[in-house]
A and B are shown apart, each in its own frame.
Chain A
């Protein structure tokens, strides 16, 4: 497992989203109502970047003509074909067995602990990416354990950290 510094916590306020490249793969980090989520940013259906997808609720019906709406803001809809993904599980609503987004553990860590542990940094990729990203061509950014690409990790700050499996 590798740990990646994404951003200072203050840079990911409620409602914010950030797209980063971790080990060559695009990952979308979201702050939904104060809770952090990190998902693969490649739609498993046709490869769109989900970063520009809208967050909606989950609708089901008890019978035709009824709309039971819950979990507002926790369903990510692909900006292309509108498939729905549960940000908590990464699963596609329509095909949960075969279509799911890789989930990453997200945590908040202090600058002190990060500096002590030697964490790898994340590279940012703008959300206006305009198309899907090839993992093979995306930069693998590991400039150094103590500094993220666009910001220095400081002892006094807290940071959003995403784990990737080995």
Chain B
């Protein structure tokens, strides 16, 4: 006999998780699902002919000079090995597999798509960047979100070109199939810089949160001291690019200028935020005359405007450290994300230690996501 349908995991193998709430009673909001067209040809129906030809002839040219990522991954294309569709396409390209393996399997009510491939972000040629962003947005809408309403699209913006980004937000912002504006943490300038402000203004106008997902090609070495050698260093270092984003948004006064703006840090974990917040508060206290446009302490702005997705889940040896770190951040500020179908995927029922407790798990898995994303 075979198992006809994947069964939901209720953690019977693990005593510590024995008390997990029945999955079908939780409507999971997944803040990071990576859908992707398998190839340029799948995107072609949405791409202007001029840019399709350009891609076929010259290809992608990103600000790190690589046709792929600068660091070879832990697994092919950084994917779970069990997420490759039988049709030979990329993980995240098959709606059928996405449904059975993820949405149905875990009871995901809403998955926020975060397209990373062929999305134009990081392209040196800004017109190409904008054309690809438009194409991937329409692909998400027509190929994924329309046939599968549990999937919500992100408005991918060519964020190094604020004017083009605003046009894209204005073009799609009223469409409820789109749940957020999507940017990457590595950028040409720290993302609070004034040339990005029109993007935040438009996002606020449409009541869309802005998600900052790790990765990106800003044209700089990935660290302030040059390129590390190893993927393990890049992976562990994503939190530093997240810190750059938060520091810049706060210190440039983005949240003072756009007081209703909601932002979400995606796939950088969350353990880094308390130390950064403490550091910024202390520096603000000492040198607030350098940033007189700020009326409030950094910690207050962070508490009000910044959410974080939980993946990749922090795994300290002592579980209490995870709890107190979440406590410092605020239980209402953490959103579950699976990062499906990537290799460092978090399972909603196994990622959290039992001592987080059912009600807080419910907040993170469901309630907080409903509050931050523009759903419904």
Contact = CB atoms under 8 A, between A and B. Distances in A.
**Complex contact flag A–B (Cβ < 8 Å):** yes
Nearest to A81: B344
Contact of A80 (B1, B10, B100, B343): B343
A73 interface: no
Given A80-B343, A81-B343, A47 B74 contact: no
A133 B346 CA distance: 16
B347 interface: yes
A139 interface: yes
Interface in A76-98: 79-82
B82 A79 contact: yes
A46 B350 contact: yes
A49 B9 CA distance: 11
Contacts of A132: 9, 347, 350
B347 A46 contact: yes
Contacts of A54: 81
A154 to B, nearest CB: 20
Contacts of B74: 82
Given A47-B13, A82-B74, A130 B82 contact: yes
A125 B7 CA distance: 12
B82 A52 contact: yes
A80 B12 contact: no
Contacts of A79: 75, 80-82, 343
Contact of A130 (B2, B101, B343): B101
A129 B80 contact: no
B351 interface: yes
B3 interface: yes
A141 B74 CA distance: 37
- Which of B82, B343, B347, B350 has its CB near the most chain A CB atoms (within 10 A)? B82
A31 interface: no
B2 A124 contact: yes
Contact of B82 (A48, A82, A125): A48
B373 interface: no
Interface string A127-143: 01111111111110100
Interface string B87-113: 000000000010011000110000000
Contacts of A57: none
A13 interface: no
B12 A136 contact: yes
Interface string B1-28: 1110011111111100000000000000
Residue of A21, A80, A82, A149 ringed by the most chain B CB atoms within 10 A: A80
Contacts of A80: 80-82, 343-345
Interface of A is mostly: loop
B105 A130 contact: yes
Contact of A47 (B1, B97, B344, B350): B350
A125 to B, nearest CB: 5
Interface hub of B2, B3, B6, B343 (most chain A Cβ within 10 A)? B3
Contact of B81 (A25, A52, A138, A139): A52
Contact of B7 (A25, A133, A141): A133
Nearest to B10: A134
A133 B3 contact: yes
A138 B14 CA distance: 16
A139 B75 contact: no
B101 A131 contact: yes
A134 B105 CA distance: 11
A151 to B, nearest CB: 12
A131 B351 contact: no
A82 B100 CA distance: 23
A48 B351 CA distance: 12
Contacts of A52: 81-82
Given A54-B81, A81-B343, A134 B1 contact: no
A81 B350 CA distance: 13
A47 B9 contact: yes
B10 A136 contact: yes
Contacts of B343: 79-82
Given A48-B82, A80-B345, A81-B343, A133 B9 contact: yes
Given A126-B2, A139-B1, A134 B82 contact: no
B344 A138 contact: no
Contacts of B7: 133-134, 137-138
14 contacts: A21-B3, A47-B350, A80-B82, A80-B344, A82-B74, A123-B1, A128-B82, A129-B3, A130-B97, A131-B6, A133-B6, A134-B10, A134-B11, A139-B3
Given A54-B81, A123-B2, A130-B105, 9 more contacts: A80-B344, A123-B1, A124-B2, A128-B82, A131-B105, A133-B9, A134-B10, A135-B12, A141-B1
Interface of A: 21, 25, 42, 46-49, 52-54, 79-82, 123-126, 128-139, 141, 149-150
Q: Closest 10 interchain pairs by CB?
A: A79-B81, A130-B101, A52-B82, A137-B7, A136-B12, A135-B12, A79-B82, A132-B9, A46-B350, A123-B1
